[in-house]
Amino acid sequence: MLHRDYITLKKIIEETDIAVQMLGETELNDFMENELLKRAISMTVINIGELVKNLTQDFREANSSIAWKDIAGFRDIAAHKYKTLDMKLVYNSVKIDIPELECNIKKILSSEV
């Protein structure tokens, strides 16, 4: 693994931690009513997607079990179509997908040691 990819993966983990911490135990209804939290979480999703785009193509291909393209695409939607963004998808992504992504990245990192 290139050093660049290693550093990027560490930054993705930082962002996933932030998203999970910000959301905490917030229920969907409370999330939907909290504009500040929705915007903060959306920005974190954008950050994660942008970091994914910085991973080398070789790395992404070597770890194709992770849906890198979908993550980057979700970033584009969150960044460019915020007003039409389905916040339930954002919520579910932070509750389900982001912890799974973090787990998968930690496995990759531990296999490199």
Selecting among 3, 39, 60, 80, the annotated active-site residue is 80
Whether 39 sits among the annotated catalytic residues: the reply is no
Distances (CA, A) of 34 to 28, 40, 57, 58, 111: 10, 10, 37, 39, 39
* CA 15 remoteness from chain centre: 7
Selecting among 4, 39, 60, 75, the annotated active-site residue is 75
Alpha carbons within 13 A on the beta-carbon side of 54: 16
Whether 3 sits among the annotated catalytic residues: the reply is no
User: Which positions are catalytic?
Assistant: 75, 80
